[in-house]
């Protein structure tokens, strides 16, 4: 079971200027209770689709049936998607499969290699396709787009479809799985016309909350991840997140610490720092969840808000040698969220050599995981000594259950944060504006007015060009 440890964010450890005092915490009680009631109410009214995902046997069974059909012949799986249609897939794969997964032989992997193309960098696409060129007859492309029209994903899909048609003729459609809205949208229409296998992005689940839907489950199950355990872990965390006493509810406490750090302690930067390479890209997933959900210009009554803590990712120990100098001695404007693993998936013992060198000898016979976790405590201590708050999310081990629990914990915490900040945590108007501006620049019909407004941005003013 993953646990939240928050003592190092309190005034008891780092003083009242930067640490949360007992009074501030109890003062939040009514507001937190209201946030809990509001989120619970939305769950009961069926408004928060993501909360139903751990129990959706139909989605899980649909994925399992498709995996049974495709996995026996699929050597490479390529996800085409971006944002919420890619970051969860990447996080699940890196957390739960070996770091060298794609480099292993077909036999030792047991499932396809996985490539997630979440950018329209032509070099990324070209390099990947030239790697796969001789294996296209064993490749499955999973195009994921809730809207079905995101330019990045659409352009990749158009290129891949043509390539497959050209190389595989009538068989091409067997190599595409479309994950999109069940009923509407351009991708849905094309998928039906071309006869692709289809999976669903539920209409009531936003992109960044969709990793536990068929969006994330398919690539995970194809690559051998135990999706039942993943969902079971999320379900167990869902239970813990309904605890009425908010001080023993991990989502409420996490929201309380992050909210108070942000609003009363001058900590607008929230750094997630896993001490595990496997968990590093969960911090990328968190960045999107937090940024798109909480970075909002208006409150729900339309009044200006301009709120949202800035989520940052860092990797321990790597970033101790890059970022921690700033975190400890720069502006005291950060809350660090450590992610710590008690038992790492692999262990390495340091050999007993260089006994004559005291600068190295102390490391002899020690476990590398002990060194990694000691460095985490060292950073925590160094930060606390200069009144920098931190919390730790402790994982006993990296298992699908704990990944599912972590995902659900952060999703539910995001909902509570949305209530506490009084903003709509489920829209993303700035992302939509960017999408529309891209349509305009690329000449899509109906976006001429936006294109007109953008003219000064298209042609640089030479006066400012050096
Ligand atoms: O969370 C979100 O809503 C966004 O990040 C989307 O996932 C992203 O823009 C991709 O959208 P779509 O799945 O419609 O292609």
pLDDT score of 455: 86
Of 174, 171, 147, 172, give the one whose Cα is nearest residue 159.
Answer: 172
Angle made by CA atoms 223, 229, 230, in degrees to the nearest 5 = 70
Residue 317: is the preceding peptide bond cis (ω within 30°)?
yes
- Kind plus residue range of the DSSP H or E element containing 312: strand 310-313
CATH class assigned to 50-228: alpha beta
> Domain segments of the chain: what residues?
3-42+231-421, 50-228
Determine whether the shortest distance from the Cβ of 118 to ligand 1 is under 6 A. no
Atom of ligand 1 nearest to the CA of 206: 3
Average pLDDT over residues 325-331: 97
Binned at pLDDT 50, 70 and 90, residue 459 comes out as: confident
pLDDT score of 62: 98
Of 262, 264, 281, 266, give the one whose Cα is nearest residue 413.
Answer: 262
Return all residues near 289 (Cβ < 8 A) that are at least 6 apart: 208, 209, 311, 410, 411, 414
Determine whether the shortest distance from the Cβ of 287 to ligand 1 is under 6 A. no
Whose CA is closest to atom 15 on ligand 1? 145
Per 3-state DSSP, what percentage of the chain is helix, strand, and coil (rounded to 5)? 55, 15, 30
Whose CA is closest to atom 12 on ligand 1? 145
Partners of residue 66 on adjacent β-strands: none
Atom of ligand 1 nearest to the CA of 152: 15
Atom of ligand 1 nearest to the CA of 180: 13
By three-state DSSP, how is residue 317 classified? coil
378 CA to centre of ligand 1 in angstroms: 38
Atom of ligand 1 nearest to the CA of 201: 13
- Report the alpha-carbon distance of residue 159 to residue 174 in Å, rounded: 16
Half-sphere exposure of 176 (CA within 13 A, CB side): 29
Determine whether the shortest distance from the Cβ of 83 to ligand 1 is under 6 A. yes
Determine whether the shortest distance from the Cβ of 145 to ligand 1 is under 6 A. yes
Determine whether the shortest distance from the Cβ of 206 to ligand 1 is under 6 A. yes
Average pLDDT over residues 8-24: 98
Question: Are 196 and 141 within 8 A, CB to CB?
Answer: no
For helices 87-96 and 280-294, angle between their N-to-C axes, nearest 10 degrees: 150
Half-sphere exposure of 256 (CA within 13 A, CB side): 31
Q: What is the DSSP letter of 148?
A: S
Whose CA is closest to atom 9 on ligand 1? 83
Partners of residue 313 on adjacent β-strands: 272
pLDDT at 204 over 90: yes
pLDDT score of 345: 95
- Report the alpha-carbon distance of residue 294 to residue 327 in Å, rounded: 23
Half-sphere exposure of 55 (CA within 13 A, CB side): 8
- Report the alpha-carbon distance of residue 411 to residue 282 in Å, rounded: 12
Of 53, 102, 39, give the one whose Cα is nearest residue 75.
Answer: 102
pLDDT at 457 over 90: no
89 CA to centre of ligand 1 in angstroms: 13
Proportion of the chain above pLDDT 90, given as a percent? 92
Best residue among 49, 79, 85, 430 to mutate for probing ligand 1, ranked by most atoms within 8 Å of CB: 85
- The whole-chain average pLDDT of the chain stands at 96
428 CA to centre of ligand 1 in angstroms: 9
Q: What is the DSSP letter of 21?
A: P
Best residue among 150, 215, 291 to mutate for probing ligand 1, ranked by most atoms within 8 Å of CB: 150
pLDDT score of 431: 87
Average pLDDT over residues 307-336: 97
Pairing of strands 197-200, 390-397: unpaired
The strand ranges marked E within 64-118 are: 76-80, 113-117
Determine whether the shortest distance from the Cβ of 292 to ligand 1 is under 6 A. yes
457 CA to centre of ligand 1 in angstroms: 25
Determine whether the shortest distance from the Cβ of 146 to ligand 1 is under 6 A. yes
Half-sphere exposure of 364 (CA within 13 A, CB side): 11
Of 400, 411, 66, 51, give the one whose Cα is nearest residue 218.
Answer: 66
Q: Considering only CA atoms, give the Rg of the chain.
A: 24
Q: What is the DSSP letter of 307?
A: E
Partners of residue 116 on adjacent β-strands: 79
Return all residues near 167 (Cβ < 8 A) that are at least 6 apart: 136
pLDDT score of 110: 85
Whose CA is closest to atom 2 on ligand 1? 207
Catalytically active residues are 292, 321, 435
CB 80: neighbour CB atoms within 10 A? 27
- Report the alpha-carbon distance of residue 90 to residue 84 in Å, rounded: 10
Average pLDDT over residues 334-358: 96
Q: What is the pLDDT of residues 126-166, one digit of tens each?
A: 999 999 999 999 999 999 999 999 999 999 999 999 999 99
Question: Are 117 and 87 within 8 A, CB to CB?
Answer: no
Atom of ligand 1 nearest to the CA of 147: 14
- Report the alpha-carbon distance of residue 131 to residue 280 in Å, rounded: 26
Return all residues near 166 (Cβ < 8 A) that are at least 6 apart: none
Best residue among 79, 81, 84 to mutate for probing ligand 1, ranked by most atoms within 8 Å of CB: 84
pLDDT at 461 over 90: no
Q: Which CATH architecture has domain 3-42+231-421?
A: 3-Layer(aba) Sandwich (3.40)
For the CA atoms of 240, 244, 250, 252, the dihedral, rounded to the nearest 10 degrees, stands at 140
Going 413 to 419 to 421 to 423, the CA torsion angle's sign is positive
Angle made by CA atoms 455, 458, 463, in degrees to the nearest 5 = 95
Of 450, 396, 407, give the one whose Cα is nearest residue 234.
Answer: 407
Average pLDDT over residues 254-275: 98
Q: What is the pLDDT of residues 434-450, one digit of tens each?
A: 888 999 888 899 999 98
309 CA to centre of ligand 1 in angstroms: 21
Whose CA is closest to atom 3 on ligand 1? 207
Determine whether the shortest distance from the Cβ of 153 to ligand 1 is under 6 A. yes
Determine whether the shortest distance from the Cβ of 428 to ligand 1 is under 6 A. yes
Question: Are 412 and 379 within 8 A, CB to CB?
Answer: no
pLDDT score of 432: 87
- Report the alpha-carbon distance of residue 275 to residue 223 in Å, rounded: 24
181 CA to centre of ligand 1 in angstroms: 12
Binned at pLDDT 50, 70 and 90, residue 5 comes out as: very high
- Report the alpha-carbon distance of residue 19 to residue 10 in Å, rounded: 4
Half-sphere exposure of 259 (CA within 13 A, CB side): 24
183 CA to centre of ligand 1 in angstroms: 17
Average pLDDT over residues 360-364: 96
pLDDT at 294 over 90: yes
């Amino acid at each position: 079971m993953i646990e939240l440890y928050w003592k190092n964010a309190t005034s008891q450890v780092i003083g009242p200027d930067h640490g949360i005092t007992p009074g501030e915490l109890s003062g939040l009680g009514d507001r937190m209770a209201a946030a809990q009631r509001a989120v619970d109410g939305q769950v009961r009214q069926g408004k928060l689709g993501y909360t139903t995902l751990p129990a959706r046997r139909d989605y899980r069974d649909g994925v399992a049936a498709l995996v049974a059909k495709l996995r026996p012949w699929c050597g490479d799986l390529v996800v085409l998607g971006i944002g919420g249609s890619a970051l969860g897939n990447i996080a699940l794969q890196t957390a739960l499969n070996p770091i060298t997964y794609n480099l292993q032989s077909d036999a030792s992997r047991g499932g396809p290699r996985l490539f997630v193309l979440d950018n329209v960098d032509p070099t990324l696409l070209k390099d990947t396709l030239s790697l796969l060129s001789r294996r296209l007859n064993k490749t499955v492309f999973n195009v994921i787009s809730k809207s079905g029209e995101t330019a990045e994903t659409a352009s990749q899909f158009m290129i891949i479809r043509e390539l497959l048609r050209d190389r595989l003729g009538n068989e091409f459609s067997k190599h595409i799985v479309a994950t999109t809205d069940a009923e509407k949208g351009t991708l849905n229409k094309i998928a039906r016309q071309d006869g692709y296998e289809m999976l669903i992005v539920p209409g009531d689940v936003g992109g960044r909350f969709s990793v536990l839907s068929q969006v994330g489950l398919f690539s995970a199950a194809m690559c051998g991840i135990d999706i039942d355990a993943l969902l079971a872990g999320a379900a167990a965390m869902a239970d813990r997140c309904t605890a009425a006493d908010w001080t023993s509810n991990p989502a409420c406490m996490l929201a309380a610490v992050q909210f108070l750090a942000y609003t009363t302690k001058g900590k607008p930067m929230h750094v997630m720092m896993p001490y595990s390479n496997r968990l590093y890209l969960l911090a990328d997933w968190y960045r999107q969840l937090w940024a798109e959900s909480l970075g909002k210009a208006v409150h729900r009554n339309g009044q200006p808000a301009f709120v949202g803590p800035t989520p940052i990712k860092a990797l321990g120990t790597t970033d101790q040698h890059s970022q921690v100098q700033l975190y400890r001695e720069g502006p005291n404007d950060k809350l660090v969220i450590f992610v710590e693993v008690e038992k790492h998936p692999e262990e390495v013992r340091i050999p007993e050599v260089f006994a004559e060198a005291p600068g190295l000898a102390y490391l002899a016979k020690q476990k590398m995981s002990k060194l990694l976790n000691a460095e985490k405590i060292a950073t925590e201590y160094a930060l606390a000594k200069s009144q920098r708050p931190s919390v730790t999310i402790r994982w006993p081990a990296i298992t699908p259950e704990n990944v599912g629990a972590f995902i659900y914990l952060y999703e539910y915490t995001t909902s509570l944060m949305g209530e506490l900040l009084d903003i709509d945590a489920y829209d993303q108007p700035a992302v939509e504006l960017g999408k529309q501006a891209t349509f305009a620049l690329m000449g899509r019909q109906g976006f001429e007015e936006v294109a007109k407004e953008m003219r000064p941005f298209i042609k640089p003013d030479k006066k400012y060009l050096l």
